[in-house]
Structure 1
Amino acid sequence: MSKFLASLVAATMLVPAAARAEGTIEVLHHWVSQSEVDALNVIRKDLETKGFQWKDSAVGGMSGANAQQALRSRLTSGDPPGAMQFLGWEGPQWAEQGVVRDLNDLAKEGGWREALPPQLLTFVTSGDAFIAAPINMHRQNWVWANKKIFDEAGIAPPKTWEELIAAGKKLKEKGVTPVAMGDEPWQIGIIFDALLSDLNGPEFYKKAAIDLDPAALNSPEMTKVFDTLREVRGLVDDNFVGRDWAVATGMVINGEAAMQFMGDWAKGEFLAKGLKPNADFYCFATPAKVTSFQYVIDSFGMFTVKDETVQKAQVALAETIMDPKVQKGFNLIKGSIPARTDVSVDDFDECAKLGFNERAEAIKAGSMLGAMTHGFAAKPEFASVFGDVAAQFFVGKMSSEDAVKMLVEGIDNAR
């Protein structure tokens, strides 16, 4: 071997693997916070070990709506990204347009269907096609509570909404803000979703939020949901207008408020301050006779492209996302739990372990429910009606009866 050739080979071996990648895949997503970026790096680094580079296209804001708008523009111009983050019905709806790649061969080979909760399949399949790889699962219906405030008031985590309301009133009498939240419709929607199931059972939730059953929508049970939502409003301070969810979490952390209803993405705020579950703060599901697990998943779909290099990168990315060790590493940072049910959570925090166990129980009990507020129950045109009515009711003076009437009329108009 000549000295020149030997030097060239040696220099090549010193080049990082990512720079010698077999190809590049552009991934469009809406994760822009530091913890989200750090979690994505787990996927990115594993993908690089397979010889492929990740080209980042992050479009933040509006819970993914801005990213979806960017995707529409790309598809219209005939320039789809290699992969895209999906929420709720986004994946199946794009699959109906014939622009999403079928990953069924990979799913069969990797046993994806067997590894995932059956309830998720609605959002990652379309007919016989497997159209997205889910990386995680968040739980929406958590309560986060300041343990010191609870302990000083002699309050234990409530087992019913009656107990929760009573505890809130007790705290309010002591000059403590019982519930921290903002007036954004989705923050209100988290409470509304929980009440639908907690007060009336999982079957009622399915009838109302998924089947859009007229009898369930226009029922005494639905009126009770709004009655209780009004009681919750009485536990919120008057400065809640315009408050970001993370600011509300900070109020609980700093002892300015006792509780917050929020998905487990809020947990990262507590952990970032060095706080520990059950020592500094409580995490428990919204109270119910039959505890539900109202889930939110993030998945990645691959678009139909002609470039064979990108096609190979899509396969590598899908395999990476569904790799148990990647799911573990990603979710340890993200604050969620693995989408796969066969990944150990022994190294996770106590809240994650509780969520993992209650997910297993919910699957058996039929109380594993898609979170409507985040797009995992009724289709968007109907879910928006629930969200609008609940938000108007919460911030206004509307009666429960009028809210039910508005809900029924809104759903009928959207049918």
Structure 2
Amino acid sequence: EDSQASAKTRFLGGDPPMVVQGVLGGSTADFASAGMSADLSAYAAAGNWDELYPAGLAASGKHNGTWVSVPVFVDTVNWLFTNKSVLDAAGIDEPNSWRDFIFSLQALKQHGVIPLAIGGEDWQETVAFDHILLAAGGANFYERVMSGDLDAIGSGTMVDAFTKFSFIREFTDEGKAGRSWNDTNNLVVSGKAAYIFMGPWATGGYGEMEEGKDWSCRLTPWSETVTALADGFHFLKSDNAEDQEAQRLFAAALTDPDTQIEAAAAKGTLPAVKGADPAKFSGCATKAVSRMNSGKTVTHWNARSSGLKSALKDTVTAFWNGDMSAAEGRDALLAAVKSN
């Protein structure tokens, strides 16, 4: 945010930087809305960018259909982490459907462990809600909601989502209020809880435990969807011909698929371009690359407009910690999006 504020100041002062690095989407859209962004349409056409990227990630590089940014790396957010030893002790297989997941929650509760660990922060609750939206309506519904589609937000499918979200509350523990994400993740690591919905940053907590044997990371098992945050470079408008040529060369280098894939593998993250070989990656990243190649990638709410993001988090946390009905949750979200 500081770098973006500095870039805006420099732009207004007549000395704009050529690019700004960061998460693409809501915050970088502010530059485009203010008329500060470069139009990369010619570069995109020459490099066939629309074919390089999954549609959901291509959208994060555009403003009103015009390319203004280059996605480079990706974080996938919709992970379900599981302590496999906890499931084994309860005689439960890892779930492959929403119905299987609910059955496992019920069985784990009877076994005397915390079925689902969720912390007490609005963003943790909303990360969990991602999986619920995918269970209720799938990738297209998720994309419509995150795009602010009022018909989708006000639909019966959204009531179903809040119904499902309310149902899983009974399988969490009473100590969740105010709890940090890492303390929540430690419940799963230590075997006190079976599952947590969390982003890729949770993997570090499992230390020397063996993935696939002691624990597992799986993208939402009841959907073929990847909810992703694209990190990259937003290009700012310049009237200087030398700067424009430098921007063209930099954009060409950033969008070279081989370079991007190799850089992502070396960095331990994921490339934004399609077609990476899962064999070049390891652990959870291998699964993410495979899903991105075969499934549907949509942009996560944390890369959407600040208004949509605030409306979603505020409503989800109010619903989760209150006594609203599912229909009231739907109506509250619809009203919040309209007002933002």
TM-score category (smaller protein): 0.7 to 0.9
**Equivalent residue, structure 2, for 1:179:** 116
Structure-2 separation of matches of 1:204 and 1:128: 20
Question: 2:254·2:260 contact (CA, 8 Å) conserved in 1?
Answer: yes
1:231 pairs with one of 153, 167, 176: 167
Give the gaps of 5 or more residues in structure 2: none
Structure-2 separation of matches of 1:274 and 1:193: 29
Asked if 1:83 corresponds to 2:15, the answer is: no
Question: Could you say which structure has the greater relative contact order, defined with CA pairs below 8 angstroms and 6 or more residues apart?
Answer: 2
Over the aligned positions, Cα root-mean-square deviation in angstroms equals 2.9
Asked if 1:257 corresponds to 2:166, the answer is: no
1:222 pairs with one of 140, 146, 158: 158
Structure-1 separation of matches of 2:112 and 2:334: 38
**Equivalent residue, structure 2, for 1:387:** 313
2:277 pairs with one of 322, 344, 359: 344
1:374 pairs with one of 302, 305, 311: 302
Structure-1 separation of matches of 2:258 and 2:76: 21
SS at match of 2:176: coil
Change (3 A) 1:342 1:177: same
Change (3 A) 1:264 1:304: same
SS at match of 2:115: strand
Shift of 1:75: 4.2
Question: 2:71·2:230 contact (CA, 8 Å) conserved in 1?
Answer: yes
2:72 pairs with one of 117, 120, 135: 135
Structure-2 separation of matches of 1:295 and 1:314: 26
Please say which of residues 88-97 and 113-122 is displaced more in the overlay: 88-97
Change (3 A) 1:404 1:106: closer
- Note the alpha carbon deviations across 1:366-408, whole angstroms, 9 max, x for none: xx3222x3134xx432332122111111122333232222222
- Note the alpha carbon deviations across 1:333-365, whole angstroms, 9 max, x for none: 5554211113323121243232222223324xx
1:318 pairs with one of 251, 269, 288: 251
Shift of 1:73: 4.6
Please say which of residues 249-258 and 73-82 is displaced more in the overlay: 73-82
Change (3 A) 1:86 1:206: closer
Asked if 1:160 corresponds to 2:88, the answer is: no
**Equivalent residue, structure 2, for 1:25:** none
Shift of 1:311: 5.7
Write the letter of the residue equivalent to 1:374.
Answer: N
Structure-2 separation of matches of 1:334 and 1:239: 36
Length, aligned pairs only:
339
Write the letter of the residue equivalent to 1:396.
Answer: G
SS at match of 1:133: strand
Q: TM-score, normalised by structure 2?
A: 0.85
Change (3 A) 1:184 1:74: farther
**Equivalent residue, structure 2, for 1:304:** 237
Q: TM-score, normalised by structure 1?
A: 0.71
The structure with the larger Rg is 1
1:244 pairs with one of 180, 198, 201: 180
